Structure 1
Amino acid sequence: MPGFVLLVRPRGDDDPAMRYGITVTKKIGGAVIRNRMKRRFRALAAELLPERGLAGADHVLIGRAGGVERDFSLLRAELVKALGRLAQEPVRPEPVEGLPSSGGAERKGRASTGSAQTGRRA
């Protein structure tokens, strides 16, 4: 099992820039562990995305439990393989049925506040 999950979604805004995001949950470990994993992902993204990423798309790396202990060269090889598969398979640009669009116009009811979204108490 790889040390991460790679999600890619074309933006469809005719901007060729590649963007990336990184997320690592608290299930992985404390702040020191999570930050170490994010630093490793940033280094991989800076090295590989400019030449192998999908232009005009958002790339998200989601850290998995084995990613911190995994050798950096193995993580790099896994990302190269994932990006290679991405280049071979078409990416579905249309929204997936059942998921809200990125605009958020389909929401009903009260608007949520920033504190409600993050779980913080005011």
Structure 2
Amino acid sequence: MTRRKDGPSPVAHAGSGVRIGVLRLKKRPDFVAAAKGRRQHQKAFVLQARERESAPGETEGPRVGFTVTKKVGKAVVRNRIRRRLREVVRLAGAEPFTPGCDYVVAARREALAAPFDELRGELFRALKKIHRAGTLRPPVAPAGDRKQDL
């Protein structure tokens, strides 16, 4: 079996009439930017999402990144969780995701033992709640930073 080299994913352009797939998020600045966006907490993971800055007229599909910290477990456990979450996103396809947005799935230990159908349900619920407000905007400032009414 041969592995595909890192490079552009085999996705079609928006104008060709073919569905655009989900791309991978791989660079740290993209993860940091997504962390500043909206969050939706679930039992098995936290979904973070943010619209990315793109050039006018540039149509690119959604990008998804995965993070599993060392607190979750050793390498074997982290890799297994990451593989399960990647498969959930792959099976979901690009339709529930918004084009031009970056998503980060931050795994929790519960993702290891959760039934696969439950993980899929949590992903769809999280996406629905994140997109419910319409646009993906950064979270509001903490209460300590706001002026208090006197």
Fold shared, TM-score > 0.5 on shorter chain? yes
Unpaired runs of 5+ in structure 2? 1-41, 142-150
Match of 1:68 in 2: 112
Q: Percent identity?
A: 36
Q: How many residues align?
A: 98
Q: CA deviation at 1:89?
A: 1.6
Structure 1 gaps, min length 5? 98-122
Q: 1:95 to 1:3 in 2, by over 3 A?
A: closer
The change in CA–CA distance for 1:75 and 1:86 in structure 2 (over 3 A counts) is same
Task: Tell me the equivalent position of 1:5.
Answer: 46
| Counterparts of 2:119 and 2:50, CA distance in 1 | 21
Whether 1:53 aligns to 2:94 is no
Residues 95/66 of structure 1: CA separation in 2 closer, same or farther (3 Å cut): closer
| Whole-angstrom CA distance in 2 between matches of 1:20 and 1:92 | 15
Deviation at 1:91, TM superposition (A): 3.5
Is 1:81 matched with 2:125?
A: yes
Instruction: Give the TM-score of the pair, scaled to structure 2.
Output: 0.58
Give the alignment partner of residue 75 of structure 2, picking from 31, 36, 60: 31
* 1:65 CA displacement: 2.1
The answer to which structure, 1 or 2, has the higher relative contact order (CA under 8 A, 6+ apart) is: 1
**Alignment-derived partner of residue 147 in structure 2:** none
Offset of residue 83 of structure 1: 1.0
Give yes or no for the alignment of 1:90 onto 2:134.
Answer: yes
The answer as to whether partners of 1:8 and 1:59 remain within 8 angstroms in 2 is yes
How far is 1:16 from its partner? 3.1
TM-score by length of 1: 0.71
Q: 1:33, CA displacement in angstroms?
A: 0.5
Give the Å deviation of 1:47. 1.8
Distance in 2 between the 1:65 and 1:82 partners?
A: 18
Q: Deviations over 1:83-108 (max 9, x none)?
A: 111232233446977xxxxxxxxxxx
Q: Over aligned residues, Cα RMSD in angstroms? A: 2.2
Give the direction of change, closer, same or farther, for the CA distance of 1:94–1:2 in structure 2 (3 Å limit): closer
